[in-house]
């Protein structure tokens, strides 16, 4: 079977994370080998790292061929729908609160 440039992907949708915070982490692992990226994510102190690590492991397991020689070809986060809530304030006012969600996609391919 042809193992050249086989690309698999995994997506996490409707995650209660900010896209700005997720993109900061995805920029660190983009283009790296998968075992190295898992190691980097394990030592980073941010909340989204564990979720990104699970999505990366899912993308690795989706690949049917050699799982040792994988590189992260694409990793990006798109905005999802915002949960709209209101915070009560003084004198009967209400301030809106927008709780962001995001969709994370990670694509891996053989090198």
Domains delineated in the chain: 7-110 (3.90.470.10)
Query: What pTM, to 2 d.p., does this model score?
Result: 0.87
Could you read off the pLDDT of 32-90 as tens digits, one per residue? 999 999 999 999 999 999 999 999 999 999 988 777 789 999 999 999 999 999 999 99
β-strand 102-110 against 94-99: which pairing, if any?
A: unpaired
d(C-alpha 104, C-alpha 97), whole Å = 23
CB 9 within 8 A of CB 73: no
Look at residues 60, 62, 49 and name the one whose alpha carbon lies nearest to residue 104. Answer: 49
Ramachandran class of 53: left when φ > 0, alpha when ψ lies in -120 to 50, beta otherwise: alpha
The residue count for the chain: 111
């Amino acid at each position: 079977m042809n193992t050249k440039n086989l690309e698999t992907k995994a997506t996490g949708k409707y995650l209660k994370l900010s896209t700005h915070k997720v993109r900061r982490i995805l920029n660190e692992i983009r283009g790296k080998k998968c075992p190295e990226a898992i190691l980097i994510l394990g030592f980073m102190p941010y909340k989204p790292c564990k979720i990104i690590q699970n999505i990366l492991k899912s993308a690795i397991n989706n690949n049917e061929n050699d799982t040792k020689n994988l590189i992260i070809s694409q990793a990006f986060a798109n905005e999802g729908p915002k949960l709209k809530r209101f915070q009560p304030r003084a004198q009967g006012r209400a301030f809106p609160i927008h709780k962001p969600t995001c969709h994370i996609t990670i694509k891996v391919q053989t090198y």
